[in-house]
Structure 1
Amino acid sequence: MAAKVTVIGSINMDLVAQAERFPNKGETLLGQDFQTIPGGKGANQAVAAAKLGADVTMIGCVGDDPFGQPLINNLKEQGVNHCQVETIEGVPTGIAHITVADHDNTIIVVPGANNHVTPEMVRQYEEDIKASDIVLLQFEIPLESVKEVVNLANQHGVKVVMNPAPIRSINLNLLEKVDFLTPNEHELKILIDDEEKDTFYKDNRDRFFVTYGSEGVHMVEDGEASIVPGYKVDVVDTTGAGDTFNGGFAVAIAEGQSYAEAARFGNAAGALSVSQFGAQTGMPNREDVMKLLNGELG
């Protein structure tokens, strides 16, 4: 039976412009291409987990504008359970304005309907959370709603993976309730921004899986610190790489893989995603991830 992963988070339409380089302040450049691509950290992670073989439920909101229904349809097409996605009248769907240049990207996110993922809405889907093997969260919905999800998951003994992005400062009480935290090296500094939280980090290193891009993941298991290395691939587009890692990591943890195995699985999925254009469109299936892990690709 497939692992049950519930993702509560953002659903966006990515507005992606490609250019030879990033514009300077006040400068106008001619772009090379433009596409609208389904995105949002929550939806990205849900699609990544579904492509990797999990039974995935997405909880979130879209607007009643032209982007909303296509995003719901996309979740359905990708094999994500979408009945818990609500359409909010009179509110625009969240968007991410992405510029891709020099094998990298810049992103501006406008939350829109994602701000309507309220604690009250979260409580409506308590049974879905309760039935999960793992819950996966990010910070593109209101922080109060993130707290509500964590509290409900704790009540029902469901483990939580929190990807603290886009990063914001949170209190120690919330940190203490999360089983797995997946910041990158920059987000970690903000996450443990006072003495109490820094002490918590030092005492609970086994909860932190710090991503360093292609270098890999820094982690601690059974008291031993290690770096789970990344995979070298030809980079086409880094958009969604972190989301793909988190989707893969959550699936592996839900399946009962060891921490190191889960980090390795997430690394392989994330590496394959950057070799294709687009966030969700570049995400790999489980067969290709296993081939990379087994040395049959690359």
Structure 2
Amino acid sequence: MMRIVCVGNLVHDEVFRVGALPSSGIKTGVLDYESRFGGPAATAAVAIARLGGRAAYWGRVGQDDAGREALRLMQASGVDCSGVAQLPAGRTLRAIVLVDARGERSIVSDRRSLAPDPAVLPDDPLDGTAAVLVDSRWPAAAEVVLDRARKRRVPTIFDADGGLAADGERLLAKADHIVFSSEGLRDYAGEGPPEQLLRRCARAAPGRIFAVTRGAEGSLWLVDGDIVPVPAFSVAIADSTGCGDVFHGAYALGLCEGMSPVVAAHFAAAAAALKGARGRGWDGMPDRAAVVRLLTDGERSRTEVAQLES
């Protein structure tokens, strides 16, 4: 089995559960607290491994307790962490996460504590690599690895969620599959209906697959000039943190297994839904059997509804 290389951030998440997300100037009491780990590329790597794929994570952590524990947990999940730089200067990246009773979350991230120099990346030519997935949170490293992948004709997926517009433009121009969050799409393409924004992106970078994830509204895919909706699965969400990262990892795995982009998106939607229903950070990652069950049940339900309407 060929590996999927995931490049980007690993984050120590400090999660505070609250009754409601506070507005400006409001004090809110904490109902529960949990220390766990996330980060777009790191979480995608864990998702791939839990779903039966072979994942490698390339990132950086501090030489601190949080960094050591995060790598231990990733390796226990089956992720190859030999490409992670453990830096003596600075601490592992940290985020404060507020989660309300509906599972919605707000995140405040501190990305200043580790140098962004891509020189700490492994000198690896991507032999035996089926795909590369990069996030927008370490753009200098993402650009280096996307260039390597282009030379080796390795397919690439870009998790486009925030960051500076100039960085996003460079990374988008080098990636094959660009999957935006709703916020990331607005940051890059401006305001307007998502279908219109996806087409605007495609005109600027033809020949690529563009998509936007929209939480409970599902995702939209621009494939061969057509907008294809992929519905989300209806589940009770315990915590939406990391759902998008799981989606990207599962999507990359689906592509590597020969699925079309839209079929891979259905697979990814099921994995993300289960992650949201379970919460619990990396401990809540679904395995392959659970995703297959949800896909099977979901298809049966859609068929039954169609029969009732006919």
**TM-score for the superposition, normalised by structure 2:** 0.87
Residue 31 of structure 2 corresponds to which residue in structure 1?
Answer: 32
1:131 Cα offset (Å): 2.7
1:205 Cα offset (Å): 7.5
CA distance in structure 1 between the aligned counterparts of 2:284 and 2:213, rounded to whole angstroms: 19
CA distance in structure 1 between the aligned counterparts of 2:105 and 2:189, rounded to whole angstroms: 26
1:172 Cα offset (Å): 4.5
Q: Which runs of 5+ in 2 are unaligned?
A: 192-197, 302-310
Q: 1:186 to 1:166 in 2, by over 3 A?
A: closer
Moved more, 232-241 or 205-214: 205-214
Q: How many residues align?
A: 291
Residue 137 of structure 2 corresponds to which residue in structure 1?
Answer: 140
Of 148, 156, 160 in structure 2, the residue corresponding to residue 160 of structure 1 is 156
Q: 1:172 to 1:60 in 2, by over 3 A?
A: closer
Contact 1:161 1:182 (C-alpha < 8 Å) held by counterparts: yes
1:198 Cα offset (Å): 7.0
**What do the CA deviations read for 1:138-162 (whole angstroms, capped 9, x no partner)?**
1221x22221111111011111100
Q: Which runs of 4+ in 1 moved over 4 A?
A: 197-200
Residue 308 of structure 2 corresponds to which residue in structure 1?
Answer: none
CA distance in structure 2 between the aligned counterparts of 1:247 and 1:264, rounded to whole angstroms: 13
1:199 Cα offset (Å): 4.8
Residue 84 of structure 1 corresponds to which residue in structure 2?
Answer: 83
Q: State whether structure 2 residue 176 is matched by structure 1 residue 179.
A: yes
Contact 1:9 1:59 (C-alpha < 8 Å) held by counterparts: yes
1:11 Cα offset (Å): 1.1
Contact 1:241 1:279 (C-alpha < 8 Å) held by counterparts: no
CA distance in structure 1 between the aligned counterparts of 2:293 and 2:71, rounded to whole angstroms: 31
Contact 2:8 2:141 (C-alpha < 8 Å) held by counterparts: no
Residue 100 of structure 1 corresponds to which residue in structure 2?
Answer: 99
SS of equivalent to 1:133 = strand
Contact 1:162 1:182 (C-alpha < 8 Å) held by counterparts: yes
Q: State whether structure 2 residue 165 is matched by structure 1 residue 169.
A: yes
1:120 Cα offset (Å): 1.7
Residue 239 of structure 1 corresponds to which residue in structure 2?
Answer: 241
**What do the CA deviations read for 1:46-79 (whole angstroms, capped 9, x no partner)?**
1011111111011111112221110110111111
SS of equivalent to 2:297 = coil
1:116 Cα offset (Å): 3.5
SS of equivalent to 1:287 = helix
Residue 147 of structure 2 corresponds to which residue in structure 1?
Answer: 151
1:84 Cα offset (Å): 1.4
SS of equivalent to 1:294 = helix
Matches within 5 A, 1:205-244: 207-244=209-246
Contact 1:40 1:96 (C-alpha < 8 Å) held by counterparts: no
RMSD: 2.3
Residue 307 of structure 2 corresponds to which residue in structure 1?
Answer: none
SS of equivalent to 2:58 = strand
Q: State whether structure 2 residue 291 is matched by structure 1 residue 294.
A: no
Q: Which runs of 5+ in 1 are unaligned?
A: none
Could you tell me which amino acid in structure 1 is paired with residue 131 of structure 2? I
1:229 Cα offset (Å): 1.2
**What do the CA deviations read for 1:164-215 (whole angstroms, capped 9, x no partner)?**
1234313645423210001023321222359xx9755236385102112122
Matches within 5 A, 1:34-113: 34-103=33-102, 104-112=104-112
Moved more, 272-281 or 154-163: 272-281
CA distance in structure 1 between the aligned counterparts of 2:6 and 2:115, rounded to whole angstroms: 16
Aligned-residue identity in percent: 26
Residue 192 of structure 1 corresponds to which residue in structure 2?
Answer: 189
Residue 201 of structure 1 corresponds to which residue in structure 2?
Answer: 202
Could you tell me which amino acid in structure 1 is paired with residue 84 of structure 2? V
Contact 1:150 1:177 (C-alpha < 8 Å) held by counterparts: yes
Q: 1:281 to 1:54 in 2, by over 3 A?
A: same
Of 276, 282, 285 in structure 2, the residue corresponding to residue 283 of structure 1 is 285
Contact 2:63 2:87 (C-alpha < 8 Å) held by counterparts: yes
**What do the CA deviations read for 1:94-133 (whole angstroms, capped 9, x no partner)?**
11110111421110111255x44532223x3333x34311
**TM-score for the superposition, normalised by structure 1:** 0.90
